[in-house]
Amino acid sequence: MPADQSHLHAMQKNPTLGHKRLAVAPMMEWTDRHCRSFHRQLSKQAVLYTEMVTTGALLHGDVPRHLDYSSEQHPVVLQLGGSEPADLAKAAALASQWGYDEIDLNCGCPSERVQRGAFGACLMAEPQLVADCVRAMRAACDLPISVKHRLGLDHMDASLHQKDYQFALDFMMAVADAGAHQVTIHARNAILKGLSPKENRSKPPLHYAVAAQLRLDLQKQFPNVAVLLNGGLENNDQIAGHWHDFDGFMVGRAAYHFPAMLLGWDDLLETNGEAAGYLFSESEWHRVQIGLVHQVWRWFDECQSKGKLFYIGAFTRHILGLAHGRAGSRYWRQRLSDHHALAKVQSKAAIADFFLEASLELGDWAAFEMDTASAENS
């Protein structure tokens, strides 16, 4: 669905620097098109990332299955996995054709499966190859190019050893010199052997101060390259506490499991980090639920028009954390996860009823009203 690209201009003129960026991290099997549509209901300004898509999947697979999305998701970034400049250039051209706002290259994933494909975190050991990849993508399209990476590899310690610090800085300098407009530092090492991807997200220690110093040193030479912080960010207060040390923040699992935090992101951006709190009020719950019904209606229409199977559970699995901490949230989650009930939802009326009945598990206050005529106009 190549989209109208008028939204691109602001990002291309000033992609990040001067304007903080709050982003939901790319997460395999989580940040699919339905997840991103849900997150857009919560924040107008959050930058949304796809799951990582490999160049092989795009060049030899089903392109629409990997790249299709709905227009309300903008700004949306395609994250690519690959290490062959020519292949990444072709994938970048496809991203441009499909109307993505930006391309991000994955140099942070430590999984052995990704390593076997010769991309992800292991690419940090080959900064010139990554630089060639960035140049190839820039030559193939007009989209901004960013790189997501780790602080270092294996048992390096950039907080103690200058050579390990220089390893990270040299990598950042190489991709910046190649034309990347942004780097996102996951502020812990990637252990390439001996730790699972899950363990790699928690066991290596975080070094926010080192990441902040890397930003300062990078911007001495490349003042227009933005540096985002990723890793271990769990709430908006934590983001606000580091607000002036980085050009933006990328949140992964906390944003997925406790998505209500995104309700505070627009205010956080508009107040330059001052308004870290948010109020998930009754009226806000109603607004979000009505928005979700409309999104699922549009997806239902798409499935009908294309002869595709519709299963509302593909959407509801992403919103299970929305009622976290509220009385009745356990029963709400159970209703959203009841596969037998989910399979029976096969009309627009049934979609609206399903969301309403699920909300009532939280109490009468959560009931919302749909405009009966809106189903036809959605």
**Same domain (yes/no): 231, 172:** yes
Whether the predicted pLDDT of 236 surpasses 60 = yes
Q: What is the CATH number of the domain that holds 217?
A: 3.20.20.70
Q: Identify the active-site residue in 109, 122, 133, 141.
A: 109
Q: Beta-carbon neighbour count of residue 211 at 10 Å?
A: 25
109 is catalytic: yes
* pLDDT given at position 116: 60
Look at residues 270, 300, 327 and tell me which one is the last residue of a structural domain: 270
pLDDT band at 197, cuts 50/70/90?
confident
Where is average pLDDT lowest: 16-25, 55-64, 159-168, 238-247?
A: 16-25
Whether the predicted pLDDT of 103 surpasses 80 = yes
CB contact at 8 A, 120 and 106: yes
Whether the predicted pLDDT of 17 surpasses 60 = no
CB contact at 8 A, 335 and 317: no
Mean pLDDT of the chain: 92
Q: 6 or 130: which carries more pLDDT confidence?
A: 130
**Same domain (yes/no): 70, 158:** yes
**Same domain (yes/no): 85, 144:** yes
Q: What is the DSSP letter of 203?
A: S
Mean pLDDT of 231-259: 97
* pLDDT given at position 372: 58
Domain count, the chain: 2
* pLDDT given at position 6: 40
Look at residues 270, 298, 315 and tell me which one is the last residue of a structural domain: 270
**Which structural domain range is residue 103 located in?**
8-270
Return the top range by mean pLDDT from 9-13, 223-227, 277-281. 223-227
Q: 278 or 126: which carries more pLDDT confidence?
A: 126
